[in-house]
Structure formats: C-alpha cells, structure tokens
Amino acid sequence: MRELKKQVLGGLGLLLIATAQGQTLSRIQGGTLTVGYRENAMPFSYNVPGQRDPVGLSIDLCRAVAQGLKQELKLANLNVRFVPVAANDAEKAVNSGKIDLECATSTDTRARRDNVNFSHHIFFAGVQMMTRVNAGIKDWPDINKRTVSFTQGTTAKAVMSQHKLTKGLAYKTLDAKDQAESFTHLNSGKADAWALGNVLLVGIRAQDRNPRAWEIVGEPLSVEPYALMIRKGDADFQRAVNKELSRIFVTGEYQKIYERWFQSPIPPRNVNLKLEPGLLLRAQMRNPKSAIAD
C-alpha cells in the first residue's frame, strides 16, 4: 500500500509538472500577459506620478518580449497587464499564477532555482551599502556594532552573512518591507547603512532631493545577475522568453533600452545616472545566457 501511494504521488507530481509546462503560453493566447513589477526599483521597474503603467529597463524589456510573443504565437493582440509585487512575494506570485512573468530586479540564485525558473540575465549588480557622507562608514569593517537596514526579499542579508568580509562583524539588522521603508530607516537614523544591489542604490541616491548627502561604499560582495522570473517547470514559456531576449540582445535593441535608462535623463526628476555597461553585461549583449557561477 505504501509503495502504491508513492507511485500515485509520483505520478501526480509528473502530471502537475506537465500541466505547468505550456500553461503560460496557452493562457496568453487569450490576449493578455500579466506582468509583476516592483513599484520603486528605479531604474528597472517603478511608478511615476501621473502615469498609469510602470516604467524602467525591465519594463521595456518585457514589453519587447510581449511583442515578440505576439508575433511568435500569431496573435492579433497581446495586452500587457501590470500587477505590483513586493520582492518577498515574487516567487509565490509567479507560481500561483497571479502573474505570468516578473519584470523587476530579482537575482538569479541556485537556492531560488529550487522554487522558480529564470530567464537569461538582464543586468549584473553587486551588494554594497549606502550611508550618510558624515556617518564614518567607508568600508565593511566600519559597520561593526552599527545597524544595517535590509529590504525583505533581496539577497543582501544572505550575502553579508556568508561573505568573508562581513560574516564576522557584529552588526545589528533592521528589516524593511520595501525599499521605501529601508530608505526611511536610513533617513531617520534608525539605520547607519543600507545594504542592497549597488545599481539600485545609485538610482535611489540620484532621485533624492539631496543626493550629495549619501555615498555608496564598500567593496562589492557579490555578482548579482538580475533576470525575469518564470513559473517553476514552465519550460516552454522559459524558452519562448529567452528566444525573445536573445533577439533583443544581439540585434542591439537592448543597447538602446540601456542607454535610455542609464545614459539619458529619466523621470520623474530627469536625472542622468551616467553608468557605462560593465564587462559582464557587454558579454551578455554578445552572447546571452543564464549560467550562474559556482
């Protein structure tokens, strides 16, 4: 009886996986692709006052992917519906079917691959920290016996707990539900530093009313490959998304999108981040892939 139960459960698992595969492609043939986005992950995915839909590099990429899927599936129309999703809810939102694709700043990690699938990488960041210029924090050892804010659903806390430069430090942690709350921790003095992907910190600092009050410090502790998040087991949809991303990269379309968000004035304050693409991103433009380092 126990062996029969195992066989039944195993067969059910295979059936669920088979059902998941192709599920998204079948659903979007109805004419709508539901995209999850982050409300304040500038310049990748964020809201602008007065605009209905979010903007950013990740949003532009997903709009381009949607156009490619529309042509691939020979659809008369494919609407993109945007749903705000917090970082710590992204995996659940994808796997439950609340969204078809998450287009934000999720880092592709081996641990996360146990729960979800990822597209080809769309950007590479690294964990650093932002602090006040006069806080006396210039490198990681300076946070010893200080308080660090972490945004829930991001990888910064795990990276810092494992890295040789930080795992032995006696810093206090202060969790925040989103980036806005982390910045409030920093602004109010509840936290001495905020650890996050450096490119996000650059965007946050640039949009502040007094950007010169903040500095981004510390050796980058990691390579954070950002990718679009896809439902676990939905291999057909993953292949379709990667096919479109490959086209976007190798045709130069990604370069134009990058220039729009990193080398041009962006809303809402028309700040130019003036960031050149790094070596890893340049290599990705030539040969898009989704391999992660050991």
Q: Is residue 29 part of a domain?
A: yes
Domain boundary among 161, 194, 217: 217
Can you give the pLDDT at residue 294? 62
Tell me the CA distances in angstroms from 111 to 91, 108, 150, 233, one per residue in order.
12, 9, 19, 15
Domain boundary among 172, 199, 217: 217
Q: Give residue 158's domain range.
A: 127-217
- Tell me which residue of 113, 200, 111 sits closest to 151, measured CA to CA: 200
Q: Look at residue 96 and give its three-state secondary structure.
A: helix
Same domain assignment for residues 19 and 120: yes
Can you give the pLDDT at residue 16? 45
Can you give the pLDDT at residue 286? 95
Q: Is residue 175 part of a domain?
A: yes
Q: Is residue 293 part of a domain?
A: no
Can you give the pLDDT at residue 23? 86
CATH number at residue 176: 3.40.190.10
Q: Is residue 236 part of a domain?
A: yes
Same domain assignment for residues 111 and 150: no
pLDDT tens sequence for the chain (294 residues): 545 444 544 444 434 444 444 589 999 999 999 999 999 999 999 999 999 999 999 999 999 999 999 999 999 999 999 999 999 999 999 999 999 999 999 999 999 999 999 999 999 999 999 999 999 999 999 999 999 999 999 999 999 999 999 999 999 999 999 999 999 999 999 999 999 999 999 999 998 999 999 999 999 999 999 999 999 999 999 999 999 999 999 999 999 999 999 999 999 999 999 999 999 999 999 999 998 876
Same domain assignment for residues 118 and 142: no
Same domain assignment for residues 51 and 136: no
* Residue 236 identity (one-letter amino acid): D
Strands 265-266, 224-231: pairing is unpaired
Q: Cβ contacts of residue 70 below 8 Å, gap of 6+? A: 77, 78
Q: Is residue 294 part of a domain?
A: no
Same domain assignment for residues 120 and 131: no
Domain boundary among 217, 246, 263: 217
Can you give the pLDDT at residue 5? 47
Which pTM does this prediction carry? 0.89
Can you give the pLDDT at residue 15? 42
- The helix (run of H) or strand (run of E) holding residue 41 is strand 40-41
Tell me the CA distances in angstroms from 148 to 186, 195, 200, one per residue in order.
9, 7, 16
Taking the C-alpha atoms of residue 243 and residue 220, their distance in angstroms, rounded to an integer, is 31
Same domain assignment for residues 190 and 167: yes
Structurally, the chain folds into a number of domains equal to 2
Same domain assignment for residues 98 and 241: yes
Same domain assignment for residues 25 and 120: yes
Answer whether the bond into residue 43 is a cis peptide, omega within 30°. Answer: yes
Q: Cβ contacts of residue 100 below 8 Å, gap of 6+? A: 24, 27, 28, 33, 34, 35, 94, 231, 237
